[in-house]
Structure 1
Amino acid sequence: MELRRQSVLTCPVCGHRSEETMPIDACLFFYDCPGCGALLKPRPGDCCVFCSFGDVPCPPVQAQKGCCG
C-alpha cells in the first residue's frame, strides 16, 4: 500500500483549507491556521492534527501501525 503524504487541513474555527505534506516518521501536534491564526491541536483520541482535521490520516495510521505518538 502506498502512503499518501499530502493532506488538506481544514480549520474548525474559520474553515480555511491548506494542503500540507505530512512527515513519515513524526506527528504534527500543533498547527497554526494560516487563515485565522488559531492554534490547532489533536482532538481527544487522535494522535495528530492530520488525524483530527485532515482529509487523510497520518502515515502511521494509514499503514495501520497505530499512532505516531
Structure 2
Amino acid sequence: MEVILESTITCPKCGHQKEETMPTDACQYFYECEYCKTILKPKPGDCCVYCSYGTSPCPPVQQGGKNYCC
C-alpha cells in the first residue's frame, strides 16, 4: 500500500484550506490556520489534525489501520 503524504487541511472555524505535507514519523497534534490563526487540535478519538481535518489520514494510521494511534 502506497502512503499518501499530501493532505488538505480545512479549518472548521473559517473554512480556509491548505495542502500540507504530513510528517512520516509522528502525528501532528497542533496546527495553526494561516488565515484566522485558530489552533486546531484533533477531535476526540483521532490521533492528529490530519485525521480530523485533512483529506487523508496521517501516514502512521495509513500504515497501521484505523485503530492505530501515533
Q: TM-score range by the shorter chain?
A: over 0.9
1: CA distance, partners of 2:60 / 2:6: 14
Report matched runs for 1:1-69 at 5 Å.
1-65=1-65, 66-68=68-70
Identity of aligned residues (%): 60
2: CA distance, partners of 1:18 / 1:27: 18
Structure 1: tracts of 5 or more residues without a match = none
Structure 2: tracts of 5 or more residues without a match = none
Provide the aligned length of Structure 1 versus Structure 2: 68
2: CA distance, partners of 1:35 / 1:24: 25
SS at match of 1:61: helix
Give the partner amino acid of 1:23: P
Q: CA RMSD in A?
A: 0.8
Normalising by structure 1, we get a TM-score of 0.95
Write out the 4+ residue segments of structure 1 that deviate beyond 4 Å after TM superposition: none
2: CA distance, partners of 1:50 / 1:67: 12
SS at match of 2:29: coil
2: CA distance, partners of 1:35 / 1:9: 12
2: CA distance, partners of 1:64 / 1:27: 13
